[in-house]
Amino acid sequence: MIGLKVTDLSFHYPDRTQALNGINFQIEPGERVGLLGPNGAGKTTLLLHLNGLLRAAEGTIQVGDLTLSDEVLSEVRRMVGFVFQDPDDQLFMATVAEDVAFGPANFGFGQAEVDRRVESALAAVGESDLAPRAPHHLSGGERRKVAIATVLSTDSALLVLDEPTSNLDPAGRRELVNLLASLPATLLVVSHDLPFVLELCPRSLIIDQGRIVADGETRQLMLDRELLAKHRLELPYGFDPANIADR
């Protein structure tokens, strides 16, 4: 497992919109961290930096003991597994097996090793039977799990997930929590689903207007109604973090 260190990260889009404004935080190996914030706060923009899909004007990103740069881009992309918000964007091959094989094949593994990785990644998400199926014929929950398998197959040690519970039914959401909690990986999870983050991530960051405005124990952050309200975060009706037992 590897850690992540982001130092003084700033980024603006070509239209001069300042999306990130001096971001600093550190994640220890094996930690599970939630990233919360209102729409447009810069959550997805931050995630896209972590494996170099967007390149910051200022600041550094350290993944494990590598500092992100052109020379180590491929290596960093192998270590950071990115699970996109819409599985239809992530699953683009004709069959599930080919999709899970896409990463390992790109990173230059031989056919036998690729096959082995596909098998073990699908087994890890409990969906070995889906291998020959076409991604567009799967249910939402199955798609999400296969999307996670596509990054597990490259041995990603840091998983970055963008809104993993969107469009999942409650049972699918439950299975996802169990799956993610069982993975031997460092997790950074963007979500509007606060109970999900509370259950999965002992620690959370709150980002608003391109800045980290809070960093602490998830439960403590969620008990601070004033802080939540200030950053347009809301707990579901009747949900009280004080009454929820630790996982």
Partner 1 sequence: MSGSHAHALHYHGHSPVHHLPAEIKLVGLLVFVLSVVSTRPTAIWAFSGYALILMIALGLSEVPARFFITRMAIDLPFVLFALLIPFVGVEPKIAIGPFAISEPGLLSAWNILVKATLGAGASVMLAATTEVPDLLRGLQRLKVPVVLVAIASFMIRYLDVVAGEFRRTRVAMAARGHNPRTVFDAKPLAVAGGALFIRSYERGERVHQAMLARGYDGTWPSSGNERIAAKTWIVGLTPALFAVIVAIAARLL
Q: Which residues bind partner 1 (CB under 8 A)?
A: 48, 51, 53, 74, 77-78, 80, 82, 84, 86, 88-90, 92-95, 98, 101-103, 105-107, 111, 129, 132-137, 150-151, 154
Least distance in angstroms from the C-beta of 7 to partner 1: 22
Least distance in angstroms from the C-beta of 200 to partner 1: 22
Least distance in angstroms from the C-beta of 227 to partner 1: 32
Please say which residue, 54 or 177, places its beta carbon nearer to partner 1: 54
How many CB atoms within 10 Å of residue 88? Answer: 12
Angle between helices 170-182 and 140-152 (to 10 degrees): 20
Please say which residue, 123 or 244, places its beta carbon nearer to partner 1: 123
In 3-state terms the chain splits into helix, strand, coil percentages (rounded to 5) of 40, 25, 35
Please say which residue, 37 or 52, places its beta carbon nearer to partner 1: 52
Whole-angstrom CA distances from 185 to 131, 155, 201, 220 are 23, 9, 13, 24
Whole-angstrom CA distances from 100 to 77, 112, 136, 151 are 15, 14, 15, 8
Of the candidates 157, 193, 192, 164, the one whose C-alpha atom is nearest the C-alpha of residue 179 is 164
Least distance in angstroms from the C-beta of 60 to partner 1: 20
Please say which residue, 97 or 212, places its beta carbon nearer to partner 1: 97
